[in-house]
Structures are given as structure tokens and as C-alpha cells.
Amino acid sequence: MSRYERLKSADLMRVQNARKILKTIHVEKGIYRKMLAARTNLAAQTVTNIITILIDKGIVLEQPLNTSGKGRNPFSLEINYSGFYIISIKAEGCFMEVYLNGLDGKVYFQEGVQISQDKDALAILKGLLHNLYEKCGSQYKASAVVISVTGIVNEKEAVVIESEGLNWHQFSIAGELAYLNIPVFVLNDVNLIAHYENANQTDDMNFMLVRVDQGVGSAMIIDRHVVYSTNRVSGEFGHVKVMRPKETVRCFCGRKNCITQFISRNSLSRRLDMPYEEIKAAVAAGEARAVETVTEIGSLVAQKLSDLVVLLDLDRIVLFGEVIEDFKEYIYPGLRNDLQQDLTYWVRFNNLEIKTYDDFPQICSQYLMSYYFSNENDLQFLWDSFL
């Protein structure tokens, strides 16, 4: 992302002070002017000067805290989330979906296309972006792009290392989209959800997310941080081995009997020798072999998950994805029971959750705001360009 403008030292203090104030307003809903100086440790005059600019530029809104009651009502400050826009791109499995949305999650443009192996995913993406800019580019100026990709991603360099479904290998997506002239953030799909979960919970220090779809993806949050590693593959739960498999299956990763080869959508099709949609119908009809195969998912992974809970003192495991969604009544009760039977008394783990994440534009918005306010952000973007 080096080609995007980084902060110059002369502007640094002013922008940092403005960010500090914005972050406080973002985190503390309903805060008013008087409280800001104390919260930010900035001089009252500095706060006044910056707030005047932020309100003047439409970045911050000031409105009566409540209109009832006696006396003078204080005015609360709020970031104008609905006045700033981003492009959110879902490039997951064999589906590409592009949104233009406000930071409040409101969608102004949405278009999606199914991608087959013989199609050029980049050309499809550029086509969708072209339609987006044609239709609403002049009215809504996007501040950044967030792309969620199924596969291995170098998020720092915005390079997709490996995405089977999109046929992207060592692929600099940020380079390809440089013509948009706004920062491009590329994240692994499960990591994006992990950032979202992490930003929205307060109590859990360590937890894990497992997505079971076409493949199996996972992410871990340790000490309230999404875990990253040298090879970008930490938390690849899909390539941990299953317990007591009835057959030996060689995985594309080089190992044998990886979890993904037994519980993913594709592997269920292989094991039952029928398309996934037919498996759903067979399970619904109570066909014994299909029911047994999806029910077995829990026992194939339970001991591996409980080992992780004990090893890392996980507070919670969140399961999501199509396979989980479709067969939750077959997977969840057994898995929860197996986990509870296999824990030590000193871990407080008591939360095996199944969730759905369907508000994708909102998830991208939240990620972007967390990044903007994080210590890692040395880019000048979003509200900075208005200061």
C-alpha cells in the first residue's frame, strides 16, 4: 500500500489529534464537548478548534442529547457514518459481489456474479466496479476498498497468495486496483469476521472461529488480537487431522486425513457420491447414510477442538458457514456434548456458538473503522483527507 499517501510530519500532530478526538467520539456514544478534553488529554482550545473543523466538514454531527427534561440539554457528538462511503467486495468461493455502502452499512449499489473456473475473476471484478462507478461514483465518493477473499492472503501487502476458487496465485489485487486511487484492504474471509467479532465483544480474551463451507477456514483471537504468523496460515484448522477416520484421504496440502477432506461441502459430496443439494434433500428425508455422515462431523473434530480449548484457554468457539447452517441440528448437540465431556475444570469454556454473518457491508465498514483507529494505521485516508 506504499503508493498511498503516508502522513507527513508537519501534518502528523494535527491529524493525530483529530483522530484521537474522532476515536473517542466513535467509542463513547453520546459524548459531549466538555468531556472530550478530559478523555483525550488535549487542551480545551485544541479540542474546540478541531471540533469546529470536524463539524464544519460534516465529519461530526452535534445534536441535542435528549429533548425532554428540564434545564439546558447538552449536545452530543456523533461521527457522520452515513456521510462516508466505501466499496465492499466479497470474493468468496466462486461468487463475486460488489457493494457501495455508507459506513453505517446502508447499501447504495450491489451486484453479484457467479464465477466458474474458466472465467477471469479479475475481469469480472473490474466489470462490476465499472458498473458501480458508472451508476453512483460521482454521487458517492468511496474512501477505501475492503475485499474479503477465501484463501491465503498477505494482508500487509494486499496480495492474495492462493485462492483456488478465484484462480489467483501470488496476485497483487491492490496493484490491479491502483487506478481507483484509494487504499485497498484485502483480508482472508474468516479473518475479516474475526476482526468483526473481536471489535464487537468485550469479555472474551481468546476465542476461535471455524467456517465450514466449500472448504474449512478458521481464525483465532488470542489476547484480543487476531493471530497472524509468518506463513499466514496459523489457525488453518482445516488441515489438522480428523479423529479416527474410516478411510485414508490424501489432502492437496500434502498431509493425509485433513479435516477439510471429511467435513467440507466438497468432501461431503465426494464421500456420499452425490451433489451437495441432493445431500441436503437426503438428510431432510432421513436417509440413513446421509444423516450418519453429517452427524459424524461433530465427533471427527470434537477432540481436536477440546485440545485447543485446553491449550489456549479459549473462552468460546464460533461455528459458521453453509454446512454448519444446513446441518446444525445434527452437528451442534453432539459436538457440544463431546466438548463438555473432554475439558479440564480450570477452563471456563462454555460457549459453542453457531452464528450467521449476513450483513457484509456492515462487517467491512467496522473493519475499516477499527483499522483507521488502530496503531498500525500510517495511511492517510477516510476522514484525514477532509481535515
CB of 250 to Zn ion, least distance (A): 9
Site for Zn ion (CB under 5 A): how many residues?
5
Nearer to Zn ion, 224 or 255 (CB): 255
Residues 276, 328: Cα–Cα separation, whole Å: 15
**Is 265 one of the binding residues for Zn ion (CB under 5 A)?**
no
In this chain, which stretch among 41-49, 247-255, 318-326, 333-341 interacts with Zn ion, using CB under 5 A? 247-255
**Is 90 one of the binding residues for Zn ion (CB under 5 A)?**
no
**Is 255 one of the binding residues for Zn ion (CB under 5 A)?**
yes
Closest CA to 20 of 56, 46, 1: 46
Nearer to Zn ion, 189 or 236 (CB): 236
Nearer to Zn ion, 205 or 251 (CB): 251
**Is 253 one of the binding residues for Zn ion (CB under 5 A)?**
yes
**Is 364 one of the binding residues for Zn ion (CB under 5 A)?**
no
Q: Tell me, residue by residue from 199 to 238, as one string, x for binding to Zn ion by CB under 5 A and - for no binding.
A: ----------------------------------------
CB of 257 to Zn ion, least distance (A): 9
Nearer to Zn ion, 49 or 303 (CB): 303
Give the residue, chosen from 1, 136, 251, 354, that forms a contact with Zn ion under the rule CB under 5 A: 251
Give the residue, chosen from 20, 211, 239, 271, that forms a contact with Zn ion under the rule CB under 5 A: 239
Give the residue, chosen from 125, 158, 258, 339, that forms a contact with Zn ion under the rule CB under 5 A: 258
Q: Tell me, residue by residue from 10 to 29, as one string, x for binding to Zn ion by CB under 5 A and - for no binding.
A: --------------------
CB of 305 to Zn ion, least distance (A): 17
Residues forming the site for Zn ion (CB under 5 A): 239, 251, 253, 255, 258
